[in-house]
């Protein structure tokens, strides 16, 4: 829900609401159905050995929620915190389950309504964001905002891959000799785990 | 006769719960029959189970399920009438029936289901056994055995005290809430203390009162979550029996301390590692009966699973009287895969530690049980996640003992707060033995080092480096001395902040196995603090230090 069907077999007038926000000078949009709430940016704790685009974790009324810096994720310098900075709390689907994650934004802009025919397909190049992260582009007057497929952007598959490789390095530790010999064993282990 | 839908739902729910318990009992008794075949009363107990499943299934119109339960009941009835006990083969058949019944019960909510071909076969096989046996009985006694003893069996033993089933999720939520109250109360207390007025003092007094009540509530909530380890241990009795049979070995599992209680989450997560260790004991530890006899041992191997409390921990030991771990083979294998070099002198304990390394397995042939090189490392990882430790001791020819030490609960720990830069971390207090200042003359800027503590070498790791935290180390650093598996190590931090009761929260599904981090907690000021996973943080430094000492 919330995601436009890119025009196919869709009522031309159906509109969807989007929340737009600024990150690294660019305006992005997320389907409002994905947004749970917006909180002030305060007290984010860094978690070591995690990908750099995970800014850390914050306390959302007793729940520990990861906060993602999209600027870093998109290959730009880390966001600077100002008094307008906030965290958009979203619910993303991960392996069939809902996962609460926070998105750091430089500021939140507006809620817009876009009908399917107001959304243009993403050009194959020219955007700074990988096209697979985008659902399309919405017109904002003369400008465009990039509509994010937030499930894909925050897909933790990538995240898991990163933490696991860190974990492996961490567990290989002391005896320096074992690197070569250990590698096939590790593959084997992975193979059996996948088979089980 | 038609039950309204919502009634049926409720009846079904209680049927599920009851049948599950009944089938567990049946399984337990069947295994027991085999090891102590002297008590014909046992048959009565499980006959009742089969009978009530049949009755309930019939009333829920689950005729196929009722049919299977019916033949099982008939077979048990034959033994009941003849005052005999089933042979091992028949016990296997009945255990198979228990498995199938369990599967059918668990899918019962979807309505009456067709039997799978396997289930049909099983049903025919049991029916055949019944016929064979009752004919024999007819010939012997001249009268047919009466299978209608329903009236007696209908009275299930009434509950001794009133109990209530509750969803574990609800208990989890209750625990979360009690945790939140701890935090809120801490913040409130600090606010009141700041007031400092006459009224403030009175409020503080009231607040203390509330805190006392709260502590009582918390311990009640915790105690609800405590469950005995017995049911899990007894499931393994069955596993050992089946495994041993399929491998031409004889083995029996003895359970000691089944009423020792532990948090339900801990127990849940202990299941896989224990099953693994038990399998390992049957597959690698115990010898074949003929070998055992030659060595003057009882042909039937004994695996003893013991649970006991010790302080805030539960200690689970798994002891077998098999061949023990083969030190030479472990070393040989470790050298071959390059886990240790040929020259290294290795301490006894360290040799057994090697088997917990990923990719290590000494089994020559890959069996369906073990020998795949995945296994004991998974056990170690599971136990690490539970903030526990595992140790092996072994005597060649006499057997081995695996000791697992786990905290009683995962939910609340006594934490020791430390600061590095702007971040606050929690070190579980159970690991901490003392704190000391890092002497200026022993300081270095390396990620880790060795410190002389009262004349002994203490390896330490600098948290700032281990977690790649920004900023420079201050002039004075402190060392938290921790003890893991009878060995000491230090963690260098900027400042020691003191103890605090800490409500453990998982970091969430977005993070999996972050090295060095066991979880998180909400600190007194509302920030999230990370809980340090001491064993995984120090494993590297411990190993290099033990090699340095050797």
- Residues B460, B471: Cα–Cα separation, whole Å: 19
Is the domain covering B227-407 a CATH 3.30.565.10 domain?
A: yes
Tokens of A39: 């909180």
- CA B231 to chain CA centroid, nearest Å: 11
Q: What is the C-alpha to C-alpha distance for residues A138 and B315, in angstroms, rounded to an integer?
A: 61
Residues A96 and A131 in one domain: yes
Asked if residue A21 and residue A104 are part of one domain, the reply reads yes
- Pair A103, A167 in one domain: no
- What's residue A107's pLDDT? 92
- Please report the pLDDT score of residue B143 as a whole number: 41
Query: Do A170 and A77 sit in the same domain of this protein?
Result: no
CATH number of the domain to which A88 belongs: 2.40.50.180
Mean pLDDT over A73-91 rounds to 90
- B512: nearest CB among A46, A160, A173: A160
Do A52 and A35 lie in a common domain?
yes
A7 domain residue, yes or no: no
Q: Which residue of B has its CA nearest to A185?
A: B359
What pLDDT score was predicted for residue B116? 82
Find, in chain A, the residue whose alpha carbon is nearest to that of B354: A175
On whether the CB atoms of residues B406 and B387 are closer than 8 A, the answer is yes
Question: How far is residue B352's CA from residue B340's CA, in Å, rounded to a whole number?
Answer: 13
Residues of A with CB below 8 A from B359's CB?
Answer: 182, 185-186, 188-189
Interface test with B, best of A42, A46, A100 (most B CBs within 10 A): A46
- Percentage of chain A exceeding pLDDT 90: 23
Closest to B337 (Cα-Cα) out of A85, A149, A172: A172
Q: Do A97 and B183 make contact, defined as CB atoms within 8 angstroms? A: no
Position A56 in a domain: yes
CA-nearest residue of chain A to B360? A185
Cβ neighbours of A45 in B, within 8 Å: 423, 520, 527-530
Which residues of chain B lie closer than 8 angstroms to A59, CB-CB?
522, 526-528
Above pLDDT 70, what percent of chain A? 72
Of A127 and B166, more confident: B166
In terms of domains, do A23 and A113 share one?
yes
Note the pLDDT of residue B137. 54
Q: Which among A48, A56, A97 has the least Cβ separation from residue B468? A: A48
Q: What is the pLDDT of residue B372?
A: 42
Cα-Cα-Cα-Cα dihedral sign, residues B286, B292, B298, B300: positive
- Does residue A119 sit in the same domain as residue A181? no
Reading the block at residue B457, the tokens are 């070498």
* CB-count exposure of residue A125 (10 Å: 0-12, 13-18, 19+): exposed
Chain A interface mutation, best of B344, B528, B543, highest count of A Cβ atoms under 10 Å: B528
ipTM attached to this prediction: 0.70
Predicted local confidence at residue A164, as pLDDT: 45
Question: How far is residue A67's CA from residue B543's CA, in Å, rounded to a whole number?
Answer: 35
Residues A147 and A189 in one domain: no
Query: In this complex, is the C-beta atom of A192 within 8 Å of any C-beta atom belonging to chain B?
Result: yes
Looking at the structure, give the CATH architecture of the domain made up of residues B412-549: Beta Barrel (2.40)
Shared domain for A30 and A126, answered yes or no, is yes
In this complex, which of A62, A171, A186 lies closest to B522 when CB atoms are compared?
A62
**Shortest Cα distance, chain B CAs vs residue A19, angstroms:** 24
| pLDDT confidence of residue B67 | 83
What pLDDT shows up at residue B418? 95
Are residues A125 and A189 located together in one domain of the fold?
A: no
What the block records as the tokens of B380 is 């170690």
The yes-or-no verdict on residue A17 having pLDDT over 60 is: yes
pLDDT per residue as tens digits for the range B451-491? 888 888 888 888 988 888 887 878 888 999 998 877 889 99
B516 SS3 class: coil
Strand ranges of the sheet holding A143-148, from the earlier edge strand across to the other edge: A107-115, A15-23, A26-31, A143-148, A134-140, A119-120
Give residue B88's pLDDT. 80
Number of structural domains (chain A) is: 2
Q: Which residues of A touch B360 (CB under 8 A)?
A: 185
Classified as helix, coil or strand, B291 is: helix
Average pLDDT over residues A95-108: 87
CATH architecture of B5-153: Up-down Bundle (1.20)
Q: How many CA atoms lie within 13 A of B200 on its CB side?
A: 10
A149 in the same domain as A115: yes
Residue A159, pLDDT score: 54
Q: Give the separation between CA B387 and CA B138, rounded to whole angstroms.
A: 61
pLDDT band per the 50, 70, 90 thresholds, residue A188: very low
Q: Tens-digit pLDDT profile for chain B (550 aa)? A: 444 555 667 777 777 888 888 888 888 888 877 776 666 677 777 877 888 888 778 777 788 888 888 888 888 888 777 777 778 888 888 888 888 888 888 777 776 667 788 888 888 888 888 887 776 655 554 443 344 433 344 444 444 567 777 888 888 888 878 877 877 787 788 888 888 888 888 998 999 899 889 888 888 888 888 889 988 898 888 888 888 888 888 888 999 988 888 888 888 888 888 888 888 888 888 888 888 888 888 888 899 999 988 766 789 999 999 888 877 778 787 787 777 776 666 777 677 777 787 666 655 444 444 444 446 777 888 887 787 888 888 888 888 899 998 877 766 788 899 999 888 999 988 889 999 988 877 776 777 788 888 888 888 888 988 888 887 878 888 999 998 877 889 999 999 998 887 878 777 777 766 778 888 888 877 789 999 988 878 876 655 544 444 3
How far apart are alpha carbons B127 and B123 in whole angstroms?
6
Mean per-residue pLDDT, A161-176: 38
Range of the structural domain that residue A179 is part of? 156-195
Is residue A3 a part of any domain in this protein? no
In this prediction, residue B218 carries a pLDDT of: 82
């Amino acid at each position: 829900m919330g995601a436009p069907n890119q025009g196919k077999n869709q009522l031309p007038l159906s509109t969807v609401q989007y929340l737009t926000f600024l990150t690294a000078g660019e305006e992005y949009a997320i389907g409002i159905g994905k947004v749970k709430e917006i909180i002030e940016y305060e007290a984010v704790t860094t978690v070591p050995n995690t990908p750099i685009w995970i800014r850390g974790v914050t306390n959302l009324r007793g729940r520990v929620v990861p906060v993602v810096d999209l600027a870093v994720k998109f290959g730009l310098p880390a966001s600077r915190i100002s008094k307008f900075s906030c965290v958009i709390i979203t619910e993303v689907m991960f392996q069939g389950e809902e996962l609460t994650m926070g998105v750091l934004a430089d500021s939140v802009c507006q809620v817009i309504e876009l009908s399917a025919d107001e959304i243009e397909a993403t050009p194959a190049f020219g955007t700074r964001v990988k096209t697979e992260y985008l659902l399309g582009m919405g017109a904002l007057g003369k400008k465009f905002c990039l509509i994010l497929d937030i499930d894909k952007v925050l897909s933790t598959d990538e995240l898991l891959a990163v933490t696991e490789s860190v974990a492996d390095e961490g567990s290989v530790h002391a005896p320096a000799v074992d690197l070569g010999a250990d590698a096939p064993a590790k593959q084997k282990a992975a193979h059996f785990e996948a088979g089980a | 006769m038609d039950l309204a839908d919502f009634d049926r739902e409720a009846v079904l729910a209680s049927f599920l719960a009851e049948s599950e318990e009944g089938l567990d009992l049946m399984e337990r008794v069947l295994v027991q029959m085999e090891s102590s075949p002297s008590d014909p009363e046992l048959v009565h107990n499980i006959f009742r189970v089969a009978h009530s499943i049949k009755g309930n299934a019939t009333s829920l119109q689950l005729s196929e399920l009722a049919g299977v339960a019916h033949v099982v009941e008939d077979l048990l009835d034959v033994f009941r009438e003849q005052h005999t006990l089933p042979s091992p083969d028949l016990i296997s058949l009945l255990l198979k029936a228990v498995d199938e019944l369990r599967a059918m019960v668990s899918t019962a909510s979807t309505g009456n289901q067709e039997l799978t071909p396997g289930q049909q076969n099983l049903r025919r096989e049991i029916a055949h056994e019944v016929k064979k046996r009752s004919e024999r009985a007819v010939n012997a006694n001249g009268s047919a055995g009466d299978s209608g003893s329903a009236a007696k069996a209908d009275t299930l033993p009434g509950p001794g005290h009133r109990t209530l089933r509750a969803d574990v999720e609800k208990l989890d939520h209750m625990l979360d809430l009690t945790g939140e109250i701890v935090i809120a109360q801490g913040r409130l207390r600090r606010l009141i203390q700041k007031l400092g007025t006459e009224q403030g003092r009175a409020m503080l007094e009231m607040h203390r009162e509330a805190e006392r009540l709260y502590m009582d509530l918390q311990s009640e909530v915790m105690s609800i979550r405590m469950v005995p380890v017995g049911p899990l241990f007894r499931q393994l009795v069955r596993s050992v029996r089946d495994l041993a049979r399929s491998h031409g070995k004889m083995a029996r599992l003895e359970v000691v301390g089944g009423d020792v209680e532990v948090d339900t989450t801990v127990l849940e997560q202990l299941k896989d590692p224990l099953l693994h260790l038990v399998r390992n004991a049957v597959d690698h530890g115990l010898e074949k009966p003929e070998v055992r006899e030659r060595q003057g041992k009882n042909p039937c191997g004994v695996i003893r699973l013991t649970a006991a409390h010790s302080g805030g921990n539960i200690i689970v030991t798994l002891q077998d009287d098999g061949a023990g771990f083969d030190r030479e083979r472990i070393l040989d294998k470790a050298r071959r895969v390059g886990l240790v070099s040929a020259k290294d002198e290795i301490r006894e304990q360290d040799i057994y530690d090697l088997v917990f390394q990923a990719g290590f397995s000494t089994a020559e042939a890959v069996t369906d049980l073990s020998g795949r090189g995945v296994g004991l490392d998974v056990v170690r990882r599971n136990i690490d996640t539970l903030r526990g430790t595992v140790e092996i001791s072994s005597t060649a020819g006499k057997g081995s003992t695996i000791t697992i030490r786990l905290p009683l609960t995962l939910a609340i720990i006594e934490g020791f707060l430390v600061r590095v830069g702007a971040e606050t971390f929690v070190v579980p207090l159970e690991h901490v033995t003392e704190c000391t200042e890092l002497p200026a003359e022993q300081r270095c800027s390396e990620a880790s080092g060795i410190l002389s503590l009262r004349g002994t070498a203490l390896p330490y790791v600098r948290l700032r480096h281990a977690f790649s935290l920004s900023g420079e180390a201050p002039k004075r650093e402190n060392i938290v001395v921790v003890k893991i598996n009878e060995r000491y190590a230090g963690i260098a931090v900027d400042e020691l902040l003191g103890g605090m009761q800490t409500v453990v929260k998982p970091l969430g599904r977005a993070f999996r196995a972050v090295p060095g981090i066991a979880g998180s907690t909400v600190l007194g000021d509302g920030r999230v603090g990370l809980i340090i996973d001491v064993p995984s943080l120090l494993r590297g430094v411990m190993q290099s230090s033990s090699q340095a000492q050797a």
